[in-house]
Structure 1
Amino acid sequence: MGTLSIVAVLLGGYAVLWLLGFLGWALFDRRRPDPAGADFLVVLGAGLDGCEPAPLLVARLEAALARYAAEQAAGRAPLLLVTGGKGPRDDCTEAAAMARWLTARGVPAERIRREERAANTTENLRFSAALMAAERPGYRCTVVTSGFHVPRSGLAARRAGVPGRVAGADGLLAHGPYPLLREAVATALLYPRANGAAVLLLAGAGALLGLS
């Protein structure tokens, strides 16, 4: 087997192991208990159709609305925090579209908070954390996102110091395999040093094996 083939096999094996580890991580997250009693239900933004939530975002909003109703039925009164800025092809911010969707379904406007600057998941959690800490010091929250997006959102939440749980609105494959694969790659990129070192080590080992 030539040097390039050996390197390709080693790197391909590493990619497969990372994907399997990511899937295990995602499945483990789904099995964790989901505590009630959050001060905030945070809905992470996603794509819009003009100024209306696209289906993926609607799934997140429906899950958040169901949790909001359950908290109210238990005598609690969480705030809904919607987070997301304006994309280049959007007619409004994701937060504005989500707030309008929620108020149209009976959520009082005074129970909704907006974060309208975030352009990615990291900013969603970082900017939301600042808003929540300012309004309710010592808060607890539940972050609602798509099932495939939970691992990366959980990592972003921990890095932002957000105390709470990240919950999936739907199944890992509810939107097909591509979003899950994309998330596996995006999550790998959050560990550039570790994965870069592993790639260099495997490439070097492959080259040595090929030359031996």
Structure 2
Amino acid sequence: MIIITLFISLLAYIAFAHLHIIETAKKATPKNLPYLIVLGAKVNGEEMSLSLLYRAETALTYLTDNPSTKVVVTGGKGPGEDITEAEALNRFFREKGIDESRILIEDQSTSTYENMKFTKDLFEIEEAVIVSNDFHLYRAISLADNIGIKGYPLAAETPSAVKAYNYLREYLAVLKMYILGT
């Protein structure tokens, strides 16, 4: 009986988290907000992973359509990365013609919570569009709201090859957020 109850509870939690993830990714994004935050993701040496590239391309469309918006590129340097995630994004935007005066850099974070906290501390941002892959936006927006940034989601596609893994990992990360607040 206990095993059945635990299994049903697990399924109910996954359904709950999945619904919030999907609903957040579908929300409309307001135009002309002063800031857009691009959350970091894996860099292989100096090359963006497909997840990070999708985030960068999605953000570039917003920046092109909203020329007064500044972009905050985030992410420190992890294992296997020769440059920070923020630097990979910075290079991408500069190569695509975004003036460096529109690019703000947060390059110390190692988690989604730190992306938001360090961005808030460095730039005193109160409202921003937040760009990440669709599976990640519910938690990112929740964490932003918790530290005082009114966040609006802008969903980048999740690469098919990592979709199942990222969703499973995110269900655990959302649970951690509920328990620890980070």
Q: Is the 8 A contact 2:27 2:153 kept in 1?
A: no
Q: Is the 8 A contact 2:141 2:151 kept in 1?
A: no
Q: Does 1:67 align with 2:62?
A: yes
When residues 32 and 11 of structure 1 are mapped into structure 2, their CA distance, relative to the original with a 3 A threshold, is same
Deviation at 1:53, TM superposition (A): 1.0
After superposition, give the CA deviation of every residue in 1:127-181 in whole Å (9 maximum; x if it has no partner). 1112231xx6xx4210100101011111111111112312211269684222111
Q: Is the 8 A contact 1:95 1:116 kept in 2?
A: yes
Task: Give the gaps of 5 or more residues in structure 2.
Answer: none
* Runs of 4+, deviation exceeding 6 Å: none
Q: Secondary structure at the match of 2:108?
A: coil
TM-score, normalised relative to structure 1: 0.79
Q: Secondary structure at the match of 1:176?
A: helix
| Matched ranges for 1:55-94 at <5 A | 55-72=50-67, 77-94=68-85
TM-score, normalised relative to structure 2: 0.92
Alpha-carbon separation, structure 2, partners of 1:164 and 1:16: 28
When residues 29 and 126 of structure 1 are mapped into structure 2, their CA distance, relative to the original with a 3 A threshold, is same
Task: Give the gaps of 5 or more residues in structure 1.
Answer: 1-5, 194-212
Q: Secondary structure at the match of 1:15?
A: helix
| Matched ranges for 1:114-125 at <5 A | 114-125=105-116
Q: Is the 8 A contact 2:22 2:134 kept in 1?
A: no
Q: Aligned to 1:186, which of 165, 173, 176?
A: 173
After superposition, give the CA deviation of every residue in 1:3-61 in whole Å (9 maximum; x if it has no partner). xxx22111111110001011111222133332112111110000001012111100000
Q: Is the 8 A contact 2:25 2:153 kept in 1?
A: no
CA RMSD of aligned residues (A): 1.8
| Matched ranges for 1:139-154 at <5 A | 139-154=126-141
Q: Aligned to 1:155, which of 136, 142, 156?
A: 142
Q: Is the 8 A contact 1:56 1:146 kept in 2?
A: yes
- Number of matched residues? 180
Alpha-carbon separation, structure 1, partners of 2:41 and 2:163: 16
